[in-house]
Amino acid sequence: MTGFEPLGLDHVVLRVRDQAASQRFYTDILGCTLDHVNEPIRLVQLRFGVNLIDLRVLDSDGMSNDSVIIDYTYSNHFVWE
């Protein structure tokens, strides 16, 4: 048995305090491109080659969105394909 053999990295979700500054870092320094913006959940999705980096706003109370009660769907994570 060889175990888990991922095809690759699908996406990474990062909760950030300053979404605009984080977006500038990933686009200006690392060369990512803007893929999608979902304003209702305050998500900026950046393309890094075939992979995605999602930047979600982390409020001062530690939540990613005022309307979301602690839900690990919105925590920092990465997903393999």
Query: What's the average model confidence in pLDDT over 3-8?
Result: 75
pTM recorded for the entire structure: 0.72
Domains of the chain: total: 1
Strand 51-57 versus strand 9-16 pairing type:
parallel
Range of the domain at 55: 9-76
Domain assignment present for residue 55? The answer is yes
What's the pLDDT tens digit per position in 34-78?
Answer: 999 999 889 999 999 888 999 998 876 555 454 444 454 556 665
Residue range 2-8: average pLDDT?
A: 75
Note the Cα 53 to chain centre separation in Å.
4
Residue 33 has pLDDT above 50, yes or no: yes
pLDDT of residue 68: 47
> 24 — phi, psi (to 5°)?
-60, -45
In a domain, 1, yes or no: no
| Residue 19: predicted pLDDT | 95
The SS3 call for residue 42 is: coil
What distance in Å separates the CA atoms of residue 81 and residue 75, rounded to the nearest whole number? Answer: 19
